[in-house]
Amino acid sequence: MNKKKNISIKRALILLSSLMVTICLLAPFSFAKGDKIIIAIDTTKPPMEFLDREGKFAGFEIDFIKAMAEEVGFTPVFQKVAWKDIFTGLIEGKYDAICASVSITKERQEMFSFSTPYINIAQAVIVTKQSNIETVADLNGKKIAVKSGTTSLIAAKHIPEVATIEYPTVEEAVQALQEGTVDAVVCDGPVAAFYVSEKQGKGVKIATLLQGDTQEQYGMVVRPNDKQTLATLNKGIAVVRRQLIDIDLQKKWLAALLSAEQQ
C-alpha cells in the first residue's frame, strides 16, 4: 500500500510540475517591480539625449524613460553607444532595447520590433540668421549638410537639385554651416531645436520644416522575439502619454521646435 501511495504521489507531483510549466509558458510576459532594462542611447542627439556639463545623461528621452520606469516599476540602465554600432549591439544581446531617436521605418521593422511611437517629429532645415533661405524651394542648388546613416539624409536627397554632404554628427554639420562650407543643415526637428536654442550666439535658426512624407515617428527598439521587454515599454509609453507627462517634457526640451511648428 505504501509503495502504491508513493508512486501515486510521484505521478501527481510530475503532473503538477508539468501543469505549472505550461501555465508559465502561456502567461503574459511582465517585468517584476524593480527589474532592470538595459537601454542603449546615443548621446550625440541633444536635446533628446546628451551628456550635461556634469557628464550625466540628460534630455527628453532620458526624462521620458525615467517617467516610464517610475510609473511601471522597472529600473532603467542607460548604456552609451555610438550610432554606427547601436543596432549591431542589440542583435548581439549587449542590451535589451534602444531609445535613440530611432525613426520607425519599414526596413527597420523587418529586422526589429518597435514599441508604439512616443513622439511625432518633422525634419527641420537650419540656416544662419543672415541666410535668405525661407522655404524648401529656396534650397535648390544649395549644399546641405546631414548626419550619415539617418533618415535626415534620405529626406534631404528628396529635395530637388541639392548637393548633400554627410558628417559623422549633427554638431559637425552645424559647424560646417557656421563656417560657410554648406548652406543649410537638415536634421530631426528636436535636434534642430537644441542648436537654435543653445547656439543663438552663433546665429543659427530654423528656416522651415519638411512636410508631407518626411513626417516621422520615434519608437523604442527591441529584438524581434523579446515580447517581455516590448510589453513593458509599451505599457510605460501608454501611461506617460495618458497622463500628458510627454507634453510637459516637450515644453521643457523642445520649445523652439514647438514655436517653428506654429509658424
pLDDT digit string, tens, across residues 172-193:
999 999 999 999 999 988 888 8
In a domain, 8, yes or no: no
CB 170 within 8 A of CB 195: yes
Residues 115 and 230 in one domain: yes
Residues 130 and 208 in one domain: yes
CA atoms within 13 A on the CB side of 198: 13
Structural domain for 196, as ranges? 123-214
- pLDDT averaged over every residue in the chain: 84
Residues 232 and 206 in one domain: no
Average the pLDDT over 249-263 and give the result. Answer: 69
CATH number at residue 158: 3.40.190.10
Per-residue cell: 116: 508604439
Residues 170 and 246 in one domain: no
Distance between CA atoms of residues 253 and 191, nearest Å: 10
Distance between CA atoms of residues 151 and 188, nearest Å: 8
> Which band of pLDDT confidence, cut at 50, 70 and 90, is reported for residue 13?
very low
In a domain, 165, yes or no: yes
- Window from 2-11, 107-116, 218-227, 242-251 with minimum mean pLDDT: 2-11
Domain total of the chain: 2
| DSSP single-letter state for residue 48 | T
Task: Write phi, then psi, for 111 (nearest 5 degrees).
Answer: -110, -25
CB 146 within 8 A of CB 164: yes
What confidence score (pLDDT) does residue 259 get? Answer: 56
- Window from 31-40, 195-204, 234-243 with minimum mean pLDDT: 195-204
| DSSP single-letter state for residue 181 | S
Cis peptide before 47 (omega within 30 of 0): yes
Per-residue cell: 47: 536635446
